[in-house]
Structure 1
């Protein structure tokens, strides 16, 4: 039984689950509208921003963003002012 607890402890230390944000959350953190966010990631848009974090396609209809990448993007904007 102790061996199982040690194994679980090692797994917990090695596993990092990133926090994922919905489009609504991304909009809340950035102050951007849903449509603006989609324009920022659309390479054919005049508003395309290659520095904006890429979305993660979880299912056919569900997309999310990695929270740490959104935070880095926001911090880069703050530092660039």
Structure 2
């Protein structure tokens, strides 16, 4: 059986891909420039890998 679940990335994993500081990334999220996370409580946020890929393509970051 195939696993069709999308990978969810921690902020540290996003920062390894995007190469910006944590404060810069969170500022972009707050200003709606970057994708909004999926929240699993007050201190647990994850981003869909596909949303990060789309963001990179849209912003031409790499």
Same fold (TM over 0.5): yes
Runs of at least 5 residues in structure 2 that lack an aligned partner in the other structure: none
Rounded to whole Å, the distance in 2 between the matches of 1:60 and 1:16 is: 27
Q: Could you say which structure has the larger radius of gyration?
A: 1
Q: Does 1:33 align with 2:21?
A: yes
Larger helix proportion, structure 1 or 2? 1
- Deviation >2 Å, runs of 4+: none
Aligned to 1:72: 54
RMSD: 1.9
TM-score (norm 2): 0.81
| C-alpha spacing 1:37/1:17, structure 2 compared with 1 (3 Å) | same
The equivalent residue for 1:6 is none
- Cα deviation code 1:10-43 (max 9, x no counterpart): xx5xx7311000000111111111111111122x
